[in-house]
Amino acid sequence: MQYAPTRGYNMNNLKFYLIDWKSYIGITIGCIITALSINLFLVPYNIAPGGVSGISIIIHYFFNFPVGATMLALNIPLFIFGIRQLGGAFGIKTLFGTIMLSLFTDLTNWMSFATKDILLASIFGGVTMGIGLGIVFKFGGTTGGTDLAARTIKTLLQHFTVGRIMFSIDTIIILLAIIVYRSYELGLYAVITLYISIKIIDVIIEGIEAKGAFIISDQSEIIADKILNDLRRGVTGLHGVGMYTRKDKNVLLVVVERIEIVRLKEIIKEIDENAFMILTDIREVLGEGFKSKDLK
């Protein structure tokens, strides 16, 4: 999966990114949601869940500097580094997202926080931040900070998700916040926010996982027909050998959406209560019957 264009680009690519107005609308919406998460849930309780936003919240706590303006100032060197790795066309959307987040963070800093419970603030701060950043990433941008660094590293380490790379970077910043605040509890709340936001980001970018099922049964043909007719899902028959009985076995492989798992279990139980089934998470499915999630 590729999250960002390669470094080489021409004027046609540049024009495409400039006139891709749908992406800019999506990035703007994501920035607004992220800004609300910062002002409604994080700043009031000094929760610093990593990243440039976390550093900016710490600076705001000590010097009362505007969080948005501080984020913009800190992002400038990161932007210069990122544009060298990700290319100029990608840098346009990154610059736009960075400015929009900083702008909306300061424009919404007058809003009162939504809860007086710090635990709820950390939870819903993570949810709203994850939704906001996930939308920004989905439309090909970043908001600077560790998400920009994460997407830069992603071009080198394809097997890691953006969310997991961000987690590694942000953990260091949370440890710094614990030292500065002299409160491990604020650090723990920040971990909650960070973890939830990462999970939400991964779901939005890569989609809700499908389920893969391996089914071993003496009634494999009947089960396969039932799955084909009832669930409208393709079934692949694999040849296997039971190593204890030394008998040939048909192993069925089928991929379903999460909401179809219950019906799949019912089908198997109706036909063969002794059937053996293994369910496994699948991060991405491409092909007929499933929407492509290959992001550009």
Overall average pLDDT of the 212-225 stretch: 92
Are 218 and 260 contained in the same domain? yes
| Confidence band, pLDDT 50/70/90 cuts, at residue 101 | very high
Overall average pLDDT of the 169-176 stretch: 84
Overall average pLDDT of the 108-135 stretch: 90
Are 86 and 151 contained in the same domain? yes
Percent of the chain, pLDDT > 90? 35
Residue 235 lies in a domain: yes
Q: Which of 206, 232, 249 is the last residue of a domain?
A: 206
Are 162 and 218 contained in the same domain? no
Are 29 and 150 contained in the same domain? yes
The pLDDT tens digits of the residues spanning 241-279 come to 888 888 888 899 999 877 678 789 889 999 999 999 998
Are 45 and 187 contained in the same domain? yes
Q: Which of 206, 235, 251 is the last residue of a domain?
A: 206
280 sits in the region (left: phi over 0; alpha: psi -120 to 50; else beta) called beta
The pLDDT tens digits of the residues spanning 64-94 come to 899 999 999 988 877 877 677 665 655 778 8
| Confidence band, pLDDT 50/70/90 cuts, at residue 295 | very low
Are 81 and 174 contained in the same domain? yes
CB 49 within 8 Å of CB 119:
no
Residue 5 lies in a domain: no
Are 133 and 261 contained in the same domain? no
b/e 130-166 (16+ beta carbons within 10 angstroms → b): bbbbbbbbbbbbbbbbbbbbbbbbbbeeeeebbbebb
Q: Which of 206, 222, 248 is the last residue of a domain?
A: 206
The pTM (predicted TM-score) of the whole model is: 0.69
Are 195 and 243 contained in the same domain? no
Q: Residue 230 to residues 159, 216, 223: CA-CA distances in angstroms?
A: 35, 19, 10
* Count: domains in the chain: 2
Residue 3 lies in a domain: no
Are 108 and 197 contained in the same domain? yes
Average pLDDT, the chain: 82
Q: Could you tell me how many residues make up the chain?
A: 296
Domain around 185:
11-206
Q: What share of the chain is helix, strand, coil (3-state, %, to 5)?
A: 65, 10, 25
> ∠ CA 191-196-199 to the nearest 5 degrees?
125
The pLDDT tens digits of the residues spanning 38-66 come to 999 999 999 998 888 899 999 998 888 99
Nearest Cα neighbor of 170 from 259, 6, 48 is 48
Backbone angles phi, psi at 8, to 5 degrees: -65, 135
Distance CA 224, CA 217 (A): 10
DSSP string, 192-216: HHHHHHHHHHHHHHH-S-EEEEEEE
| Confidence band, pLDDT 50/70/90 cuts, at residue 6 | very low
Using DSSP, state whether 162 is helix, strand or coil.
helix
Percent of the chain, pLDDT > 70? 81
Are 181 and 246 contained in the same domain? no
Predicted local distance difference test score (pLDDT) of residue 208: 60
Predicted local distance difference test score (pLDDT) of residue 271: 93
Overall average pLDDT of the 4-29 stretch: 63
Are 263 and 164 contained in the same domain? no
Are 227 and 109 contained in the same domain? no
